[in-house]
Amino acid sequence: MNAREWSSRIAELAHCEHSALADLLRAVGEFDAEAVYRQLGFSSLFDYLHREIGLSRGSAYYRQVGARMVRRFPELEVPIRDGRLCITTVSELAKVMTEENRAEVLPMFFGCSRQEAKQLVARLRPMEEVPRRTVVTEVPLIAPMEAAPAVVQPVGRDRTRPDRGLPVTVQARTVVEPMTATETRIHITVSPEFVALLKKAKAGQSHVQPNATDEDVLRAALELLVEKQEKRKASVPAKVKREVRARDGGKCQWPLASGGICGSEVRLEIDHVQPRGKGGPSTPDNCRILCKVHNLEAARAAYGDEHMDRFTKVVPTAGEPCPVYCADGVVSARRAIRPRRITTATVATSPASCRARSPGPAGGLPATPSRLPKVAPAQAHAKVMGAIPTNDAAANGPRRTRVADSA
């Protein structure tokens, strides 16, 4: 299938999903109105959905709220069926929708994400008392895991069994919780160094702003950071950047096949419609805003995949544990390092730098240093550093080599 056929197929399946959800909520609503679950021995609809149907606790809660909302307000079924309302948005709508405001409030939630729906709820029904103090909670440290045997296992083989496969690190995310139309509470996980730096900045700001809050200090710091970012030296003049950003609304302008634009607001870059490497000027008419993904796509269209792969290639690495030989000869296991991007670096090639250690006892560390075999200094240094020479023309002097990042 081509791209358009794939898109039509996915759109058809999405429509089936929306229709199935609407039918499910209507059926569950009728099931709940008659309390049929009691005939099956369950004390509540939630208990029935969770234990008998096998839904997770979150899914059971959302479908319980959605079913009761559809039974109470039948006009919700149509926007759920055509995709204008999702199940999480309905749960937020239930907090503010009443018999009196149903005609006015319902259209406001069409096409909203859960976060946008939360902001609408905060505006329509603001909290009476907003918490204003900063709460710092110390997260207990997790004891380091003991070294596992050096056995090759598939990564993430069974997500439901924590004892199978390797542990997965979950990255802490920032939680934004709207309180009112003008106030929002943020939950963020930071390091002790960040807390100390915030206290130091707040103390320094007290000379010019005695009653400065954490928000005042962070806002001043962010304003300085944004100002510094805008002054960055680049091929596009600052005046042109400002004009292009204002014209494009700070959104990616990559055209979609179905019409419209990408509209992404993250990782934005200035792109030259006619590439700068092919004589394109840095003028507002020849510049546009693109996200990083589509900027790379435009570069591939202009220069070809073979050329662009030189700048985007990633070092393949194994995803299973690999044995590490320690000084005492004991074999331990550690997780393979994450994929690393290839970068180009200039390394020195003096004879003093081309030293290695001779093999020591079996399983132990090397004993005494010795020189490498007589080879060209650049080749010797490349061998020591694990690098691949990219230019064999010269035998002496600094060489340009491809070196894998250590991070």
Q: What is the pLDDT of residues 100-124, one digit of tens each?
A: 999 999 999 999 998 899 989 988 9
pLDDT tens digits, residue range 287-310?
Answer: 999 999 999 999 999 988 888 888
Q: Residue 297's closest CA among 316, 312, 282?
A: 312
Q: Please give the structure tokens belonging to residue 67.
A: 């079913």
Q: How far apart are CA 27 and CA 36, in angstroms?
A: 12
Grade residue 402 by pLDDT with cuts at 50, 70 and 90: very low
The answer to whether the beta carbons of residues 374 and 383 sit under 8 Å apart is no
Share of the chain above pLDDT 70, in %: 67
d(CA 91, CA 216): 34
The mean-pLDDT minimum among 18-22, 178-182, 280-284 falls in 178-182
pTM of the model: 0.51
- pLDDT confidence tier of residue 79, bands split at 50, 70 and 90: very high
Helix, strand or coil for residue 323?
strand
For residue 391, name the pLDDT band (cuts at 50, 70, 90). Answer: very low
Distance CA 284, CA 267 (A): 20
